[in-house]
Amino acid sequence: MSAAEKTTLHSSTLAVRQAVERSQYGENSEALYLTSGYVQPSAEAAAARFSGEEEGFTYGRYGNPTVASFEQRLAAMEGTEAAMSTASGMSAILMMCMGLLQVGDHVVCSQSMFGSTIKLIGSDLAKFGVQSSFVPQTDVDAWRAAVRPNTKLLFAETPTNPLTEVCDIAALADIAHAAGALLAVDNCFATPALQRPAELGADIIMHSGTKFLDGQGRVMAGALCASQQLMTEKFLPVLKSAGMTLAPFNAWTVLKGLETLDIRMRAQSAQALALAQWLEQHPAVDRVYYPGLSSHPQHALALRQQNGLGGAVLSFVVKADTPELGRARAFHVLNQMQVLSLSTNLGDTKTLVAHPATTSHGRLTEVQRQAAGVAQGLIRMSVGLEHLDDIHNDLLRGLNTLASVK
């Protein structure tokens, strides 16, 4: 497909048709190229490829045809000029920070970001002289107030885990650009099927391909989507020297996952909305967090920003008078499940259910945990594709006998 043809195609078409470079065999499904090296047609071509004057693969750490297909398809779906993939979501964030920041630079992040992101930017990069501020996710004024003369990057994640807080991407893009900084958005939870941050002014979109892009819990992967200039000048040099390269097999798996992303995200969002509405009515449930509910504080913003859909992740709190009882009752619900998976991962066709207070947020002190809003009675669900009745029944076993836990 030429570039002109591509622009006339819809996103769902690009998800199955973009970047299908067929070999001489004419295979219909994307080929998987398992190779670490490449044979060069001539010494002159090798020299031109290594110097960057000519396109062509030179070494597996720098590029691979299957990996390139995944990158081109993801970029088309996010609406950016280019994408570069990495071995995991966290290594995509590392590549971004190594490419953009140096000692003395400052980053503003939400305090509700993925735990490893807070650790990487707040602690690991601090060792190399990178400063950071963490602000309340939904408080636009706090983001603006945190900007300093040396701020180079604002990094947001929306919706967040586990409370599904939504921030205003367009407003944060304005703050970043007014300060001469860039805005990066972690788009793991919404995916380009629901939310395209580039259209709202974000400069960099970061992905953990491990989650919904693969969508079936098989491989680790990560990516950054941005302009060709950022890729060439900032990120490619880091990838080449630091080597957080995505393996071809993993790239192929996620590439095929992208083909069903749109249909999965629509179906799983519809299931999550129905489940959230049902949980909100259940007498044993204290509170439900889900952007698709009208009770969600950023409901209108979420629908506007996320293509009218709430996503596949929701959380709820079981009723209890004390934190100890909340934990015991949440454990009871999890231990009664026979169908759903007790797992801290997310973004699978299988429904995954977790207790954040003792797993993903288990290293926080009780005070930090309460500030983060992660109650002991909180249960997080990444809603999959099982029949809704079966999901209800699996939860009801525990919810209907909660009073027996004292």
Among 64, 66, 72, 88, contact with ligand PLP (rule: CB under 6 A): 88
3-class state of residue 244 by DSSP: coil
114 touches ligand PLP by CB under 6 A? yes
188 touches ligand PLP by CB under 6 A? yes
Cβ proximity to ligand PLP, 65 vs 159, nearer residue: 159
Among 63, 65, 89, 217, contact with ligand PLP (rule: CB under 6 A): 89
Cβ proximity to ligand PLP, 88 vs 349, nearer residue: 88
3-class state of residue 316 by DSSP: strand
* Nearest distance from C-beta of residue 17 to ligand PLP, angstroms: 26
Q: Per-residue x/- marks for ligand PLP, 115-154, CB under 6 A?
A: --x-------------------------------------
214 touches ligand PLP by CB under 6 A? no
Q: What is the largest CA-CA distance in the chain?
A: 77
Measured CA distances, 397 to 47, 185, 206, 402 (Å): 66, 38, 38, 9
* Nearest distance from C-beta of residue 180 to ligand PLP, angstroms: 26
User: How many Å apart are CA 175 and CA 213, to the nearest integer?
Assistant: 29
Q: Residues 215, 221, 222, 228: what is their CA dihedral angle, to the nearest 10 degrees?
A: -100
Residues 189-208 contacting ligand PLP, CB under 6 A? 208
Q: What are phi and psi of 226, to 5 degrees?
A: -170, -170
User: How many Å apart are CA 112 and CA 202, to the nearest integer?
Assistant: 19
Among 68, 220, 239, 251, contact with ligand PLP (rule: CB under 6 A): 220
Going by their DSSP bridges, the two strands 341-342 and 222-226 should be labelled as unpaired
User: How many Å apart are CA 291 and CA 162, to the nearest integer?
Assistant: 12
244 touches ligand PLP by CB under 6 A? no
For residue 315 the two structure tokens come to 């959380």
90 touches ligand PLP by CB under 6 A? yes
348 touches ligand PLP by CB under 6 A? no
Alpha carbons within 13 angstroms on the beta-carbon side of residue 135 total 20
Cβ proximity to ligand PLP, 379 vs 399, nearer residue: 379
109 touches ligand PLP by CB under 6 A? no
* Nearest distance from C-beta of residue 19 to ligand PLP, angstroms: 22
Which residue(s) pair with 216 in the sheet?
A: 348
* Nearest distance from C-beta of residue 189 to ligand PLP, angstroms: 6
User: How many Å apart are CA 62 and CA 121, to the nearest integer?
Assistant: 25
- Applying CB under 6 A, the residues found at the interface with ligand PLP are 88-90, 114, 117, 157, 161, 186, 188, 208, 210-211, 220, 222
